[in-house]
Structure 1
Amino acid sequence: MKKWTVDQSHSTVGFEVKHMMVSKVKGQFTSYTADVAASELEDLSTASIGFTFDVASIDSNSDDRDNHLKSADFFDVETYPSITFHSTNITKDGNDYKVTGDLTIKDVTKPVTFDVEYGGKGTNPWGVEVYGFEAEAKINREEFGLTWNAALETGGVLVGKDIKIKVELEVNPSA
């Protein structure tokens, strides 16, 4: 199995959640590590994939919100500094893939399946092969102990319980 490196300057690990029942808040984790091993990335079903996200790197375009997300109300970064994902099964689905793995947030581990679209293969200007993938999964944040919320006067809640995790990756062979 070959090792593959995630090009973080061309990759994003993001999320989105309903805000006040009417709009979405989007954000990302700007610091993460990834372990990708596969015989060949044109057939992702041979891969082993692992991610570790530094929760303190959360960026939702608002310092106040980010500080609240880092607090014990949400992620409690002092106690739980990272989120991890490790693939357990990868199946081909037409031209795309289903990547199932164990997602751990605040010491709660649950299986999550990402729908993964293979974007293709190219060669960058320096002669290095690059592969592109987009992945998306939906989780219920409350199942991972992220239960803080506030009721709205008009009905509903401040923060939706469903979180979309969106990952865009560009990978190349490790040197």
Structure 2
Amino acid sequence: MTKVKWAVDASHSSVEFSVKHMMFATVKGAFNSYEANIEADPTDLTTANIEFNIDLASVDTRNEDRDNHLRSADFFDVENTPKLTFKATNIVKKDEGEYDVTGDLNLHGVTKSETFTVTFDGQGTNPWGVEVVGFTAEGKIKRSDYGLTWNAALETGGVLVGDQIKIALHIEASKAE
């Protein structure tokens, strides 16, 4: 197959994250608004062009006060840095259908190289005759690398919010026309 453009189906996709809370619990959240520019042969991602943009104001942790705090200058500062962006710079095949996708991740005005494991989950034709593919991307970043350092010390030792953020994208995309 040759390289084609793919349109992310937001109703069948998700952008999720998790972080340690109080050193032992895990809090999960999602971003509900994002867009991608994907041009790829899904059976060989090594030549793909991948760009991803996340609207940070769309953060949803199922707690309005926490979401508003995440939007504030203590964390994302969405008024001044409204998007997280990722642009792939190198894609290496690790195994059948599994790739290391390295790219420039920009968050909070800081750009760093990050690598995500991307798995091609399959492809088929939906009931309306449209070709559809599925991908999963997973990785970890340190929020402190991006200047996201707000925290609170706990009486029992440790901190309220962990530094390592786990990121998981579950993407369904259809062939763009």
TM-score (norm 2): 0.96
1:100-151 deviation per Cα after TM superposition (whole angstroms, max 9, x unaligned): 0000001100000001111111111111111111111101100001000001
Q: 1:128 aligns with which of 127, 130, 138?
A: 130
Structure 2 equivalent of residue 84 of structure 1: 85
Q: 2:23 aligns with which of 17, 21, 24?
A: 21
Residues 116, 139 of structure 2: 8 Å contact kept? yes
- Structure 1, unmatched stretches of 5+, are none
Q: Secondary structure at the match of 2:166?
A: strand
Q: 2:121 aligns with which of 92, 99, 119?
A: 119
Could you tell me which amino acid in structure 1 is paired with residue 139 of structure 2?
Answer: A
Distance 1:53 1:138 in 2: 16
Could you tell me which amino acid in structure 2 is paired with residue 99 of structure 1?
Answer: V
Distance 1:5 1:137 in 2: 22
TM-score (norm 1): 0.97
Distance 1:4 1:145 in 2: 33
* 1:1-150 → structure 2 map (5 Å cutoff): 1-38=3-40, 40-95=41-96, 96-150=98-152
Distance 1:50 1:129 in 2: 21
Could you tell me which amino acid in structure 1 is paired with residue 176 of structure 2?
Answer: S
Could you tell me which amino acid in structure 1 is paired with residue 72 of structure 2?
Answer: S
Distance 1:51 1:75 in 2: 17
Equivalences, count = 174
Q: What's the C-alpha RMSD, in Å, of the aligned pairs?
A: 0.8
Distance 2:124 2:25 in 1: 36
